[in-house]
Structure 1
Amino acid sequence: MSTRDLDIEIAQIRESNMGRVRTLGSVRLTKEGTNERILYPTPSNDPNDPLNWSQTYKIYLMCLTSSALILSNFVAAGPSIALVELTIDIFHAYPPSPLIPATLAPASIARFTDGLTKAAYLFSGAALVQGISNLLWVPVALKYGRRKVYVFAFLLFGATTIWAARAEPFANLLAARLVMGWFAGTAECVAPLTVADLFFLHERGTYMAIFAAALSAGAPLGSIVGGFFTLGTDWRAMYYLSTGLIFLFTLLAYLTMPETAYIRTPEVHKLEPVSRISKDFDKSPADLQVERLSPEPIAEASGRPGKKTFRENLAFVTPAQTKESFLKIFIRPILLLVLPPVIWSTVIIGLVVGIVVVLSVSLANDFHTIYQFETWQAGLCWISVIIGSAIGMPVCGILTDTTADFFTARAGGIREPEHRLPFCILPALMLTGGLLIYGFGLEHHTHWIVPVVGLAIIAVGIVGGTTGGMAYIVDAYRPIAGECVVSIMAFKSAFAFLIAFYTNSWLAKDGPAVVFGTLAGIVFGWFTLALPLYIWGKRLRQRSLEWRFVRHIQWDLDRETGE
């Protein structure tokens, strides 16, 4: 038995004798009197602990992880910019044009509309499978490690892009896209885990914003590149380019990305004299909740461990990261959807990603119909989303951490996950305003710059909404953050599929003002629920420990991180 396994076993015995105390995100972040920062999770003395790696190397791994996230949506959603060309190529249906009178016939218009709707399935279906795949990939990543998932899944992801590039009938292309979505989904679920592995609690918002920006930038980059490809070649060339980029990432991940999952020695709490607690016998479990003011890790049983060699970091056969059963990890995300904090974050991220999907499947056709933009010109409109994401990344990242620090200071140094929620005022206003500008700009045929500016504002809101929602839920349920991510990503994909399924027909029936105005109202309304969550969120998290079904989602001690 290794020293670390022995430490964990000792901790399990000690905590079983005293009753297990979970704070669910409530921690002291600064020392009383000195205001000195307390690091969470507490780094070990092991050089293989990701928290001990140099900041430069951590940032490199964050960039590598972000590139995986960009690539997944670059291929999954980016080619949708060529939806019209794809419809012409596969279904031989042509868009209405005064230059070709035959295309103005009702039968021709109906044929094109039907073909466009079917072609959209290639992207909405892939988005759905991306989320569902997390039900498998996250348990694998939690049980066996992040690195294995990245390398294995992206190797097959690259193979599916070759399949899609060569697929001829619609059914074959649809099958390729669905399988592609299954392997592309790994980046969406493993990236937040990697952020939590590499960075401390007080840094998490900043780096979660990089994740959010990468999540929102993939589809725009793909649309810009895809638009240019339509000038000199066809939409299939996009997949060949993606093949090279994906295999390049796979090689870099294999050679330069060690495993970031790390089994931490569990922290225990000092036993108090019986006289101190005898008066609390009549209290409920929730009333006995205490806040962990500072971690007390078990002393290392041996000296400083040796650093792994380059060859050891390449190993694929490694010990399991947790003793929890695969089935338990697989089922937990379903039960988590009953917890109010998880529900709120899930719907927030589902809405912002759903907006990206709506724009992806409708923008090219809208700008072609209203402004007579060619495909490559419509693709250039996505530059505004890149700019918005680039602005949103530092602004939202810094603000979510500074906002949380401000409210932590007001609370006497005790950090609550809810301290991130006031920041959500910014993405609520950005998303609502951007959607209204975009929708009404299209509806009233304003200058094309108006909806393009709306796109940039929407992008800032998307980065902010994703950052706030994801950082909040990871802070609140850090030991089971992976399962929370599964709940979020599975829901957002189902929602994105549903809304993308009806987007073009909804736009044709009610117009952009109604569609995007409705989305703006839904987004703003759901963001306002952050207020009651800020007031009662801590109580809900603590009371949830008493709920009967919560016993089925309790995590093992080896999942604890000190938060």
Structure 2
Amino acid sequence: MAQEDEAVAIESLNDEKRPGNVTAHDEPVRSSEEGKTTDGGIILIPQPSSNAQDPLNWPMSKKATIVATLFLAMFVGFSAPFCGQLNINQQAALYNKTPVQITYFNSAASAGLATGGYLWWPLSNKFGPSSIIFWTLFGQLAAQIWAPMMTQPSQYAPYLASRYLSAFFGVTVSVLGPRYLVDMFFLHQRGRAFTVLHLALNFGASAGPTFAGFVAAHSYWPVEYWWSVGLTGLTIIIVFIFLEDTSYDRTFASNRVKPNSFLRDRMDTFFPGSKVVSTQHVWSHTAKMAITPFKIAIAPVVLIIAGFDAISFGFYVALNALTPVWLQLPVKAGGIYGWDVTQNASFTFIHWVGFIVGLVYGHFLSDRIPLWLVARNKQNKWKPEYRLYALWPTNFVLMPLGLGLVGCAMQYRLHWVVMALGQFFVTIGSLVSIPVTVNYICECFIRTHTVEATLVLNSMRLFLGLSINFFINPWIAAVGIGWVYGMMAFFSVFAFMFLVVLMIWGHGIRKKTPFGTSESEEGQHVLTKSREMNLGI
């Protein structure tokens, strides 16, 4: 009977793909005694208002356009700081540094990503998140122009500073973007939405070096930055045209009415005046809001998720930052492959394949697995921890296996295909884990401090990746390069135990959040009674 019930549950969840039922692009709704629901029998959480200006009521085409705009802005934000990741030998010769010292710019960029949000978050409450995203793109544009101008041997420090500022301005969407998704999408859609948006994070950090490597493979290294300058300028125009304000208070009687004039709406959204902000905050209130992330940072649930992310994502960052050193190190100097920049850039396409596989996995399973667990829990109630179960195959199996394969390839000088397979597995684990954990943290603070929790998680995630370049050589000297990656594999398995703790005791851990900052959607009914009867529960 258990197997029959499981089959019925899966079949019922698959019915949302059939004609006439709910899909990610078509959300017909109806009213029932439980409230508004989809045709597939899923209760809409949160319940939309009757106002057409409510972002939950917007057509999927408009939501998709906003997500695509945020995707492009996040892609630029994470690709620009890492453009110089592959062409390290020319920079090492110019600045009279070792290749590993050149990779310190990855640490400078990670520091910018870890700190920028602490400024942009409080300012977004004063001027609106869309305005902050728009204007920080200009800051990143300036940083991208600055970097290729640093062509003197004495300009190593200014070059690192340009990488810090590029990331400092570029992190904005990863901090503010999740709020747009929470505003526009229902609970049963968010997994897919978060997967799509956060693809830009990993894809940008990988594709930026790939594009730059091909551009500058047979040229002097400053050339590799100019394509990102053009893309950043184009992104500013696209953001100005398509990015919409999604703030909407369903308990507030006088939300902003969007003007009929397109130009007037754009001026209200992006220029001083704060007309898209429902509450006009004075600067003293803005300063108080800047303190909130530090309160949330001590919440046990945030610390546990951040511990997992810091290890799993930190090793992915370290892999990206250090792989060019290992691949391009001449064989006569102890290297394995002795590749040039073009070969290294071609190798990075393995990350692209991993992104595609991870995107497909996240699209089809990041929402279905939690819904399946709801159908099986006999109470038809939502738990945020259901989100985390999607990470079992990717982060408990694939990521440790991938790190182990990279270590074996390095230690025993195996064919590059082994190295590629390992990086492929690690990439899948990284791509899937980020949207799932960010989505989980957002849902833990869904009615209180979504952005602040995301900000803290984003910054804590980067600490290991920021610092690993400084101690990788002593680590290798102590245990050998094979066991460096072998230890990373075991650490990844250990980090997954943090998620297991939340799967088992997550409810109690969330209740221990200080300052009354945690309020989730736990306990809400997700399936209608008719659907419960169809499932036999």
Q: Given the superposition, is the C-alpha separation of residues 220 and 257 from structure 1 closer, same or farther in structure 2, using an over 3 Å criterion?
A: same
Matched with 1:171 is: 157
Matched with 1:84 is: 89
Query: Pairwise mapping of residues 366-381 of structure 1 onto structure 2 (< 5 A)?
Result: 366-368=326-328, 369-381=335-347
Q: CA deviation at 1:160?
A: 1.1
Q: CA deviation at 1:307?
A: 6.7
Paired amino acid for 1:117: V
- Give CA deviations for 1:382-441 in whole Å, capped at 9, x if unaligned: 111111011101212321211110111223321110111222212221111111111211
- Whether 2:421 is the aligned partner of 1:472: answer no
Matched with 1:530 is: 499
Q: Given the superposition, is the C-alpha separation of residues 493 and 46 from structure 1 closer, same or farther in structure 2, using an over 3 Å criterion?
A: same
Residue aligned with 2:51, SS: coil
Deviates more, 1:408-417 or 1:476-485: 408-417
Once residues 531 and 542 of structure 1 are traced to their aligned partners in structure 2, the CA distance between those partners, rounded to angstroms, is: 17
Matched with 1:320 is: 277
Once residues 305 and 254 of structure 1 are traced to their aligned partners in structure 2, the CA distance between those partners, rounded to angstroms, is: 19
* Overall identity of the aligned pairs, in %: 23
- Whether 2:137 is the aligned partner of 1:154: answer yes
Q: Given the superposition, is the C-alpha separation of residues 176 and 512 from structure 1 closer, same or farther in structure 2, using an over 3 Å criterion?
A: same
Paired amino acid for 1:327: A
The structure 2 residue matched to 1:329, chosen from 289, 294, 310, is 289
Matched with 1:55 is: 60
The structure 2 residue matched to 1:73, chosen from 75, 78, 89, is 78
* Partners of 2:66 and 2:244 within 8 A in 1: no
Q: Given the superposition, is the C-alpha separation of residues 45 and 363 from structure 1 closer, same or farther in structure 2, using an over 3 Å criterion?
A: same
The structure 1 residue matched to 2:305, chosen from 325, 345, 353, is 345
Matched with 1:489 is: 458
The structure 1 residue matched to 2:482, chosen from 510, 513, 517, is 513
Matched with 1:145 is: 128
Once residues 301 and 132 of structure 1 are traced to their aligned partners in structure 2, the CA distance between those partners, rounded to angstroms, is: 35
Matched with 2:351 is: 385
Once residues 345 and 91 of structure 2 are traced to their aligned partners in structure 1, the CA distance between those partners, rounded to angstroms, is: 15
Q: Given the superposition, is the C-alpha separation of residues 62 and 31 from structure 1 closer, same or farther in structure 2, using an over 3 Å criterion?
A: closer
Q: CA deviation at 1:504?
A: 4.5
Paired amino acid for 2:366: T
* Partners of 2:212 and 2:224 within 8 A in 1: yes
Larger radius of gyration: 1
Matched with 2:222 is: 236
Once residues 193 and 429 of structure 2 are traced to their aligned partners in structure 1, the CA distance between those partners, rounded to angstroms, is: 17
The structure 2 residue matched to 1:223, chosen from 201, 209, 215, is 209
* Partners of 2:307 and 2:498 within 8 A in 1: no
Q: TM-score scaled by structure 1?
A: 0.78
Paired amino acid for 2:65: Y
Q: Given the superposition, is the C-alpha separation of residues 31 and 409 from structure 1 closer, same or farther in structure 2, using an over 3 Å criterion?
A: farther
Once residues 216 and 258 of structure 1 are traced to their aligned partners in structure 2, the CA distance between those partners, rounded to angstroms, is: 24
Once residues 193 and 307 of structure 2 are traced to their aligned partners in structure 1, the CA distance between those partners, rounded to angstroms, is: 21
Once residues 186 and 523 of structure 1 are traced to their aligned partners in structure 2, the CA distance between those partners, rounded to angstroms, is: 28
Once residues 261 and 178 of structure 2 are traced to their aligned partners in structure 1, the CA distance between those partners, rounded to angstroms, is: 26
* Partners of 2:143 and 2:162 within 8 A in 1: yes
Deviates more, 1:414-423 or 1:69-78: 69-78
- Give CA deviations for 1:163-188 in whole Å, capped at 9, x if unaligned: 11112311221222222221112122
Once residues 139 and 344 of structure 2 are traced to their aligned partners in structure 1, the CA distance between those partners, rounded to angstroms, is: 31
Once residues 30 and 463 of structure 1 are traced to their aligned partners in structure 2, the CA distance between those partners, rounded to angstroms, is: 35
* Partners of 1:217 and 1:386 within 8 A in 2: yes
* Partners of 1:224 and 1:382 within 8 A in 2: yes
Residue aligned with 1:231, SS: coil
Q: Given the superposition, is the C-alpha separation of residues 512 and 261 from structure 1 closer, same or farther in structure 2, using an over 3 Å criterion?
A: farther
* Partners of 2:310 and 2:464 within 8 A in 1: yes
* Partners of 1:146 and 1:260 within 8 A in 2: no
- Whether 2:268 is the aligned partner of 1:310: answer no
Once residues 34 and 343 of structure 2 are traced to their aligned partners in structure 1, the CA distance between those partners, rounded to angstroms, is: 50
- Whether 2:213 is the aligned partner of 1:208: answer no
Q: CA deviation at 1:87?
A: 0.7
- Give CA deviations for 1:219-238 in whole Å, capped at 9, x if unaligned: 22122112212323222112
Matched with 2:179 is: 193
Q: CA deviation at 1:29?
A: 9.2
Number of residues of Structure 1 aligned to a counterpart in Structure 2: 469
Once residues 74 and 503 of structure 2 are traced to their aligned partners in structure 1, the CA distance between those partners, rounded to angstroms, is: 30
Q: TM-score scaled by structure 2?
A: 0.81
Unaligned runs of 5+ in 2: 1-32, 329-334, 520-524, 527-537
Q: Given the superposition, is the C-alpha separation of residues 90 and 334 from structure 1 closer, same or farther in structure 2, using an over 3 Å criterion?
A: same
Q: Given the superposition, is the C-alpha separation of residues 526 and 147 from structure 1 closer, same or farther in structure 2, using an over 3 Å criterion?
A: same
The structure 2 residue matched to 1:252, chosen from 224, 232, 238, is 238
- Whether 2:462 is the aligned partner of 1:498: answer no
Once residues 127 and 529 of structure 1 are traced to their aligned partners in structure 2, the CA distance between those partners, rounded to angstroms, is: 23
Deviates more, 1:445-454 or 1:207-216: 207-216
Q: CA deviation at 1:322?
A: 4.8
Query: Pairwise mapping of residues 2-21 of structure 1 onto structure 2 (< 5 A)?
Result: none
Query: More relative contact order in 1 or in 2 (CA 8 Å, sep 6+)?
Result: 1
Once residues 34 and 390 of structure 2 are traced to their aligned partners in structure 1, the CA distance between those partners, rounded to angstroms, is: 19
Once residues 134 and 41 of structure 2 are traced to their aligned partners in structure 1, the CA distance between those partners, rounded to angstroms, is: 40
Q: CA deviation at 1:35?
A: 7.9
Deviates more, 1:36-45 or 1:430-439: 36-45
Once residues 306 and 160 of structure 1 are traced to their aligned partners in structure 2, the CA distance between those partners, rounded to angstroms, is: 34
Q: CA deviation at 1:89?
A: 2.3
* Partners of 2:409 and 2:418 within 8 A in 1: yes
Q: Given the superposition, is the C-alpha separation of residues 305 and 145 from structure 1 closer, same or farther in structure 2, using an over 3 Å criterion?
A: closer
Superposed CA RMSD in Å reads 2.8
* Partners of 2:511 and 2:518 within 8 A in 1: no
Matched with 2:18 is: none
Q: Given the superposition, is the C-alpha separation of residues 319 and 471 from structure 1 closer, same or farther in structure 2, using an over 3 Å criterion?
A: closer
The structure 2 residue matched to 1:132, chosen from 81, 100, 115, is 115
Q: Given the superposition, is the C-alpha separation of residues 501 and 461 from structure 1 closer, same or farther in structure 2, using an over 3 Å criterion?
A: same
- Give CA deviations for 1:459-491 in whole Å, capped at 9, x if unaligned: 110112112211111111113110011111221
- Whether 2:101 is the aligned partner of 1:118: answer yes
- Whether 2:430 is the aligned partner of 1:430: answer no
Residue aligned with 1:265, SS: coil
Once residues 362 and 305 of structure 1 are traced to their aligned partners in structure 2, the CA distance between those partners, rounded to angstroms, is: 51
Once residues 238 and 481 of structure 2 are traced to their aligned partners in structure 1, the CA distance between those partners, rounded to angstroms, is: 43
Unaligned runs of 5+ in 1: 1-27, 92-113, 267-299, 556-561
Q: CA deviation at 1:507?
A: 3.7
- Whether 2:415 is the aligned partner of 1:447: answer yes
